[in-house]
Every structure is written in C-alpha cells, then in structure tokens.
Chains A and B, each alone.
Chain A
Amino acid sequence: MVPSHNGNNKQTGTDTVKRGLAQMLKGGVIMDVVTPEQARIAEEAGAVAVMALERVPADIRSQGGVARMSDPELILQIIDAVSIPVMAKARIGHFVEAQILEALGVDYVDESEVLTPADEEHHIDKHQFGIPFVCGARNLGEALRRIGEGAAMIRTKGEAGTGDVLEAVRHARAVLGEIRRLSTMPSEELMTYAKSIGAPYHLVKEVAETGQLPVVNFAAGGIATPADAALMMQLGVDGVFVGSGIFKSGNPAVRARAIVEATTHFNNPEILAEVSRGLGEAMVGINISTMSSEDRIAHRGW
C-alpha cells in the first residue's frame, strides 16, 4: 500500500512523486516499441520514455483477437536495453496485470483502451499502487474520473493505430476547451457542471481555480508526423505519445528524431519545415471517417 516510509525519512509512492515523473516527461515524445532493438533506436532518437508492448496498435487492429498485457520477459528485456523510463500497458480494469507490471519494475502503467478491456464498468483503483498510471480521456469528465481513481497523467485517446490525428485533436480540444469554460464559470454552477460531466466535485473545483488539470496531459492516438506532434503541442498538450507512427513508417530512426525535434520546436515553423524534409514514407494509415463504429477503440473506458 502507498504511500510508504522506509525508515530513512523517505516517502515513496506519493501523488507528488507519481505526478512528478510525468512532469519530467513534458515537452517530450514517448514511443511504442515491441523489441529491445526498437527501444534502443527510440532512446537514441531522443525519446523521453518507451512504451513496451508486443504489438503496436496498427497490428492489434489488423490481426484482431484479444490484446493483453505483454509477456514479462519482453518487458524485462526492454527495461534492460534502455536508461530512460519504461511504460507498459494493462487492460482497463485488469488490476492483476497492473500488479505484475509493478512487480517487474515498470515505471508507468498505461491502463489502455488499445488492449481488450477486462471490465466493462470499472477501471483500476490506481491509488492502491506505488507506481503511477496514465489513462486515456476524450473529455474533461473522463479525465477527472481517471484522476479521481488515482491516474497521475492523462493522455487523449485519439484513435490508436490509424495514423489519423483527427480524434486526438477532437479530444484535446474537448478537454482544453472545457477547462477554459470552467475557469470562467461562477462557483454556484460548479456542482451542476460536475454532475453533468460525471466528474468528482473537488476536482472540478480545483480545475476551475487553477485553470489546468492537476496532472500532466499528453496527446496520443494517430500522431504520425512531426507536424502532427507540433499541432498537438500548439493546441496546448504537454507532450506526445507516438504509437504505430514511428515503427510502421519507412525510416523509423529518422522519423523518430524528427518528431522529437518537432515537439521541442513546436512553435518554430522554419525548424518544423527543416525536420519534416525527406523522412521517407509515413505509415499508410486508416482514414477514421471511413471506419465503422465497431472498429473504433476510443469509446472503450467508462
């Protein structure tokens, strides 16, 4: 259970420590990797962390079947391969997968809609863990429910494995727009607003007062180019996850480096133009507007 003391006046697993790691990742790119070699390429390109998984979302989509937590053997190999933080995914509601990831020494758990959900009503009680969690959200209510459950970092869901940034933009605009609205709302309206978006009142009140989420907020789901990353940064997120977009492209090392540079220099069009040149083929992608609703995964999570 957390937080805990270790007898040396040190407290581990506190909210400050959990949220703090996400603060150190800001302005950076977190990359999906499926082998230790890919993890090393990501670190070499300047990734701030890697997400260890067996299949990138594009392959989960095309191959189908139940998508679960990765083999611990693979996760340990990736942990050994790099010096940067290693994240790994657990299924929504699958708290035992999360316990296993904690025991392996994973630095962050992504309770992810990209995997097949294990519970149709409940997410993991993330307060029970000493390591931090990141969760996806499509709007402010969903973000604050996850934070209420103990998430120490939020990301847009986007539509993973498509290479189409449309949904990530929609979710970032929704969350950030609702925060802007809240920050000008009279205090007597906050309870009704909390009820209408299904969010804990104390978090709604906190966001109204501070004008920002209490945790770091990244973009994820469909980011495939340096311009996509810079777009999300200009919209106001703190950093980006890139899933299939790097290792499903023609030249992963070059593209990875370009996306890292674009995330730092997101407000500098000259540099964005320079880093976007000659990257080889982007991932082919799927146009979200032509997808059937059963094929979409962003609606997973409650």
Chain B
Amino acid sequence: MRIGVLALQGDFLEHRRKLEGVDAEAVEVRLPEDLEALDALIIPGGESTTIGKLAVKYGLVEPIKAFAAQKPVWGTCAGMIFLAKDIGREQPLLGLMDIKVNRNAFGRQRDSFETDLEISRLDGGPLHAVFIRAPLVTEVDGNAGVEILARLDDGGIVAVQQKHLLATAFHPELTDDTRLHKYFVAMIQTS
C-alpha cells in the first residue's frame, strides 16, 4: 500500500514515520505527478495559508480534487482546514468536505493543549490528542454524509468523516498511538 503525504510544508515527516510504523509505504507529494499510483493521501499539519498557496502555485488543487473523488484522503489540523468547504475567510481550499471550520479556534499558542479524547470508531480507550493552534469544526452537513467521530468535553467537534474523507483537528502524528493511522489504512482497504 502506497500512501502519499503532501510535503509542501508542515510535519509530513512525522506522518511518514507513523505510516512506516503500520507497514505502509509513504511517498512525499510536492508536484501533481507525485500522486500517480498512490492509494491514498494525507495532508499534514502545518500552516494552512502556506500549504494552500503552494498547492495553487504548483497546480495541485485540481489533481487532488480528482484524486479524492475516488481515493481516501485524511487531513490533520491544517489538512482539515484545507479539506473544508467553508472557513469564513479567503484562502485557497480544496472544498472537499461539507464542514465549516474555524481556524485558530482556541486562541493563540498559549492556548494550545493536550487532552484525552473518546473517538467513536476506535477501541482501546481514549486517544491522547495534541491540539496546536487548532481549528474546530463549527458545522457539519449530515445530509451530505458527514459523521462526527469525536468531540471535546464542551461539545466542540474535532474529528469527522465523510465517506472516504477523514479530518482531525489534532495531530495523531505527534504521539506514539498508532490507532488512527491504522484506522485510515483500514479505510483504504475497504474503499
């Protein structure tokens, strides 16, 4: 199984290591031709404005949309923002998921945090999740098939799935727990 990691900017190496840890081959994607022969794509954490601008400049937006029409894509943090239809401000987006996302929803870096999170599709107890200047999902379109996988104690939505598209506001690539990467691999196997 070959999984691409969008390597324009951000913590793509952390995702690579996690994928190699679950016996998947990881491929860095910087140009449209890098998408060829991949089974899925991960859009990592980073700065969503930077990733969006570079994706536009290097002609990746339409190829990723075409790719995502059939193959699984997972966005973490900046990746979640990039996948969203609406973030309430002007910046390049893929617009693939019917969710509304608020950037920097918790405040500045001093408000970044770690916490334990119950994720509905994962066995084995709560997942320890790291939120860095994280976004929050403020609206989901249930009619379009968006399912909520995790909420914070205060109800804030931080993990969603829409068919073969997955988005998390936190960074599973920063901890040792491999369950979400395994979950994504299972999504690829059944898609």
Contacts and interface: CB of A to CB of B under 8 A. Distances in A.
A106 B108 CA distance: 8
A10 to B, nearest CB: 4
B154 A8 contact: yes
Given A26-B11, A260-B54, A10 B113 contact: yes
A43 to B, nearest CB: 6
A49 B46 CA distance: 11
Interface in A47-106: 47-49, 79, 83-85, 102, 105-106
B109 A107 contact: yes
Q: Taking chain A's interface residues, is the majority helix, strand, or loop, or is none over half, making it mixed?
A: loop
B174 A260 contact: no
Interface string A6-25: 10111111101100110111
Instruction: Sort chain A's interface into a size bin.
Output: 35 or more
A226 interface: no
A268 to B, nearest CB: 8
B49 A85 contact: no
A163 interface: no
A25 B47 contact: yes
B162 interface: no
A167 interface: no
A91 B85 CA distance: 43
B110 interface: yes
Contacts of B9: 26-28, 48, 263-264
Contacts of A13: 110
A113 interface: no
A47 B78 contact: no
B110 A105 contact: yes
A264 B8 contact: yes
Interface in B88-106: 89, 103-104
B1 interface: no
A131 interface: yes
Contact of A261 (B54, B89, B107, B130): B54
A237 B111 CA distance: 28
Contact of A20 (B12, B78, B103, B171): B171
B92 to A, nearest CB: 11
B64 interface: no
Contacts of A301: none
B46 A16 contact: no
Nearest to A19: B174
A21 B78 CA distance: 12
A43 B49 contact: yes
Contacts of B45: 23-24
A80 to B, nearest CB: 12
Contacts of B191: none
B113 A131 contact: no
A46 interface: yes
B46 to A, nearest CB: 5
A108 interface: yes
A16 B177 CA distance: 14
B49 A131 contact: no
A263 B54 CA distance: 11
Among B10, B77, B116, the one with the most A-chain Cβ atoms within 10 Å of its Cβ is B10
Given A48-B50, A131-B110, A264-B9, A8 B174 contact: no
B132 A24 contact: yes
A150 interface: no
Contacts of A28: 9-10, 46-47, 50
A132 interface: yes
B46 A17 contact: no
Contacts of A260: 50, 53-54
Given A24-B11, A26-B10, A26-B13, A84 B110 contact: no
B174 to A, nearest CB: 6
A224 B191 CA distance: 47
B21 to A, nearest CB: 15
B174 A20 contact: yes
Interface of B: 7-14, 30, 45-47, 49-50, 53-54, 57, 77-78, 89, 103-104, 107-116, 130, 132-133, 152-154, 171, 174-175
Interface of A: 6, 8-14, 16-17, 20-21, 23-28, 43, 46-49, 79, 83-85, 102, 105-108, 130-132, 260-261, 263-265, 268
10 contacts: A9-B116, A13-B110, A24-B78, A26-B46, A43-B49, A85-B47, A105-B107, A105-B108, A105-B110, A264-B7
